[in-house]
Amino acid sequence: MNKKEQSRQTFDLQASKYDTTFYGKHARKIYPYLLNEIIRCYGEEVLDLGCGTGALMKQVISEDSHRHLTGIDLSSQMIEKAKHQLKNKATLVVGDSENLPFFDQTFDIVYCNDSFHHYPNPQKAIAEIYRVLKIGGTLIIGDTYLPVIARQVMNYFIRFNKDGDVRIYSKKEMISFLEELFHEIKWIKVSNSAYMIKGVK
């Protein structure tokens, strides 16, 4: 089973209780930082890539109900959970970050919280994000941060896990993924276990 299928299976199984798990709680710790950036960005069309249960989407809608939110996730059960949580307040789609089912230049903002480390082909995902963003649109990614030695150890063992994790990326790696396509790139360590990076198309 490849990493993508492992992720799908893992999150299908976790969907009903994800928000109360260690991983769900870690994702929630990054919400305030992403939310602050999202609210500051211009534009009505917003995509949550790897939206999970829709918990962060719910907060975005609560802060600004004029935005139109779309969420996409590889896990059909996560999407079902998000539909239950958001009712009809957002568009929700089962799909793949490497093959987004949207037209070019659809979104003003694309954000991705605590799921980028599951993507087997990160540069392909970044290229797809770039494609669906409007000119001047903003990408915001929040994900797991680890110091160098801890990250190296984690990345060694990730190869053997069955949860779908692919790699915990360094600051240098993340900047390199964005710099060929995006400008105004800014990487910030927001806590002892998380970072945020943003760029403008």
Distances (CA, A) of 79 to 7, 84, 137, 181, 188: 14, 9, 25, 29, 29
pLDDT at 23: 84
Closest CA to 197 of 168, 170, 174: 174
- Residue 5 scores a pLDDT above 90: yes
pLDDT at 123: 97
pLDDT digits (tens, 9 = 90+) for 55-77: 999 999 999 999 999 999 999 99
8 Å CB contact between 10 and 163: yes
- Residue 22 scores a pLDDT above 90: no
Q: What is the pTM of this model?
A: 0.96
pLDDT digits (tens, 9 = 90+) for 130-171: 999 999 999 999 999 999 999 999 999 999 999 999 999 999
pLDDT, averaged across the chain? 96
Closest CA to 5 of 79, 75, 82: 75
Number of domains making up the chain: 1
User: In the Cβ-directed half-sphere of 103, how many Cα atoms lie within 13 Å?
Assistant: 3
pLDDT at 197: 99
pLDDT at 1: 81
The domain spanning residue 56 has which CATH number?
3.40.50.150
- What's the CA gap between 166 and 125, in Å, rounded? 13
- Report percent pLDDT > 70 for the chain: 100
Let me know how long the chain is: 201
Q: Give long-range contacts, CB 8 A cutoff, 24+ apart: 147-154.
A: none
Q: Which domain holds residue 181?
A: 1-198
- Residue 2 scores a pLDDT above 90: yes
